[in-house]
Structure 1
Amino acid sequence: MSRDRFSTAARRAVYEAIYRRRDIREGYTGEPIDHATLARLLHAAHHAASVGFMQPWNFILIQSGERREQLWQVVDKERRSAAVIFEGQQARQFPSIKIEALREASVVICVTVDPSRRGPHVLGRISDEDTDLYSASCAVQNLWLAARAEGFGMGWVSFYRKPDIRHILELPHHINPIGLICLGPVTAFPDQPVLQTIGWAQRMPLEELVFYESWDRPAPEPGGPWEGMPEAVRNSNFQSPGIP
Structure 2
Amino acid sequence: MKNSTPGHQAHHHFDDAERAAVYRNILARRDVRGQFLPDPVADDVLARILTAAHFAPSVGFMQPWSFVVIRNQHVKQRVHDAFTVANAEAVQMFEGKQREVYSGLRLQGILEAPVNLCITCDRDRAGPVVIGRTHIKAMDIYSTVCAVQNLWLAARAEGLGVGWVSIFRQSAIREILSLPERIIPIAYLCVGHVSHFLDQPELQTAGWRQRLPLDELVHFDGWGGDRPDGVVLRDALRRAQEDASRGIPPT
Q: Please state which band the TM-score falls in when normalised by the shorter chain.
A: over 0.9
Identity value in percent: 43
The answer as to whether partners of 1:154 and 1:184 remain within 8 angstroms in 2 is yes
Deviations 1:9-33 (A, max 9, x none): 1111100110000000112112101
1:116 and 2:124 aligned:
yes
Question: Equivalent residue of 1:9, what SS?
Answer: helix
Which amino acid counterpart does residue 215 of structure 1 have in structure 2? Answer: W
Deviations 1:161-207 (A, max 9, x none): 11111110000011100111000001110000000010110000101
Query: How far 1:242 moved relative to its partner?
Result: 3.1
* 2:218 maps to which of 210, 215, 226: 210
Alignment match, 2:88:
80
TM-score under structure 2 length normalisation: 0.92
Alignment match, 2:155:
147
Question: Equivalent residue of 1:184, what SS?
Answer: strand
Alignment match, 2:248:
240
Q: Unpaired runs of 5+ in structure 1?
A: none
The answer as to whether partners of 2:24 and 2:248 remain within 8 angstroms in 1 is no
Alignment match, 1:156:
164
CA distance in structure 1 between the aligned counterparts of 2:157 and 2:97, rounded to whole angstroms: 34
1:54 and 2:62 aligned:
yes
TM-score under structure 1 length normalisation: 0.94
Deviations 1:116-146 (A, max 9, x none): 0110111101110110111011100011101
The answer as to whether partners of 2:118 and 2:185 remain within 8 angstroms in 1 is yes
* 2:232 maps to which of 203, 206, 228: 228
Question: Equivalent residue of 1:108, what SS?
Answer: strand
CA distance in structure 2 between the aligned counterparts of 1:84 and 1:66, rounded to whole angstroms: 28
Query: How far 1:91 moved relative to its partner?
Result: 0.7
1:1-40 to structure 2, matched below 5 A, reads: 3=10, 4-40=12-48
The answer as to whether partners of 2:24 and 2:249 remain within 8 angstroms in 1 is no
Query: How far 1:100 moved relative to its partner?
Result: 4.6
CA distance in structure 1 between the aligned counterparts of 2:160 and 2:250, rounded to whole angstroms: 26
Instruction: Report how many aligned residue pairs link the two structures.
Output: 239
Deviations 1:51-86 (A, max 9, x none): 111011000000111110000000111011011111
The answer as to whether partners of 1:195 and 1:201 remain within 8 angstroms in 2 is yes
Question: Equivalent residue of 2:137, what SS?
Answer: coil
1:129 and 2:137 aligned:
yes
* 1:168 maps to which of 176, 197, 204: 176
Alignment match, 1:104:
112
Q: Unpaired runs of 5+ in structure 2?
A: 1-5
Question: Equivalent residue of 1:119, what SS?
Answer: coil
